[in-house]
Chain A
Amino acid sequence: MGLLAAAIAVGLAALGAGIGNGLIVSRTVEGIARQPELRSALQTTMFIGVALVEAVPIIGVVIAFIVLGQ
């Protein structure tokens, strides 16, 4: 049962991170392609966005491994 719980937790964490990052990257690439001179500012915004998106999935994976290890 613990294995199943860990698998679901990791799977949903990866799904969330994937969807969130996909949205961020697609908009940033679009922005840089339209206005290459704004690259630095867009990269900074993307960086903060990726950090916001990825903090929770990492906690999800960590909890899954704690469940698995006990």
Chain B
Amino acid sequence: MEVYQHVIARQRKWMFYLLALLVLGWAVTPWQPIFLGLLLGSILSFYNLWLMQRKIRKLGEATAENRSVRGIGTFTRLASGALAVVIALQYEEYFHLISVVLGLMTAYIVIFIDYLFNKSRV
């Protein structure tokens, strides 16, 4: 169980660092719509990451105990991407749309970079 828990904790830590940086960028720099868009995308991306970690842990537990699970939350993750775009389109004066899309990819970038740096330990 240790490897998976370590991977989860590391990814969560890096997401919190990134969110803190984005909040700092929003508060300090003059590019507020861009940072607010990145922040919105990153928050929903963090939700996606949390959901993915939780669902995969549940699937592993259920398989080990010979039970079944209902799904791994793919459509919830697709829907949260759609929700980010809907919010950004609704409040176009506050959020920069391309930044929201880039923000949605934050968790995936964190996962890939974390995997590349810790390949030998995974």
- A residues within 8 Å of B by Cβ? 10, 13-14, 17-18, 21, 25, 28-29, 32-33, 36, 39-48, 50-52, 54-55, 57-59, 61-62, 64-66, 69
Contact = CB atoms under 8 A, between A and B. Distances in A.
Given A32-B63, A40-B2, A47-B53, A14 B75 contact: yes
A39 B60 contact: yes
Place the interface of chain B in its size category: 35 or more
B12 interface: no
Contacts of B57: 43
Nearest to A41: B3
A44 B122 contact: yes
Interface string B40-75: 000000001000110011011001100000001011
Interface in B11-45: none
Contacts of A32: 60, 63-64
Contacts of B64: 32, 36, 39
A41 B3 CA distance: 7
A47 B4 CA distance: 9
A47 B52 contact: yes
B9 interface: no
